[in-house]
Structures are given as C-alpha cells and as structure tokens.
Amino acid sequence: EHCFYSAPFFYGLLDHRRFFVSGVRNGMLALKGQFPGGIMEHHDVIRRHLRHIEQLLREHDQWQSVPPLAAAFESTQPFCMDTLQPYEWLQWVLIPRMHALLEGNHPLPNTFAVAPYYEMALVPGHIGREAILDVLLALDAVFADGLS
C-alpha cells in the first residue's frame, strides 16, 4: 500500500518507520513502509503518538479539566464536529477510545485517517496546529500499514 505525504511530513516520520519513496502523485511523495517489529511494537507506536497528542494539547493550554456535556457525544456527525471543538474530540474521544482498544486487546480500525479533517478544521495560525498535524499524520501512517 502507498501513503501520500508532503515532503515536510515525510521527514517527521522517519524516526518511526522504514520508508522508501515509490513515486510522486500530485506533488506528494508516495511512500511504502514497514514496521521493523510486530504488533506489540505497532501498538507501542500508537500509544506514543496518543501520549504526544496529549502532551501537545497540554503544552498549548488546550487540555480541558472538565468534560463536555454528555449530549455533545451523541452527535451523529464525524468527529462530533457539530458539538465538539476539534481539540475536544481528540481529548475526549480519540485518545480514550484508542487506549481502551489497545488495553483491551480489541481489534483496531482497518482504516484510519484523522489528519485530513484537522487540516481543514484547524485554520492556519490555530494554536498548536502544525505540531498536532505532524503527530496526526504520523498516527494515520501507522494504520496505513494495516498491521493493526
């Protein structure tokens, strides 16, 4: 399978994966990659990305101590976009649900791509935007391998 990234994001992924460039499409690098280890290492990489997202939200004062009202989680929209702010969804939905799946040894999603939504939802200049996008792109890349 191929993953498509712009060059700046490619360099941020090199520490986690072994990639080779397999082509270019619409100005984006087409990368093929493989994890050097098995499922446990794969899960450790996912956990590391989730902790990094939390760290970034805290560093940028976007981590909340009080959860949104329960009704906010009843949204039928992707990312609860009509009831939660983008960073709220990361904190109150993505991070705890992914940790629960990992800790319970439940199957992880076969397809996973949150970065494209955040590229649109977080306008340029939004606090922490670039750092969060880098981590979300790396997290998406983990799932692109299909090792979950």
Average per-residue pLDDT for the chain: 78
The H or E element that residue 30 is part of is strand 28-34
Helix, coil or strand: residue 33: strand
Is the pTM here over 0.75, yes or no?
no
Of residues 76 and 22, which shows the higher confidence score? 76
* Model pLDDT, residue 64: 97
Report the largest interatomic distance among the alpha carbons of the chain, rounded to a whole angstrom: 46
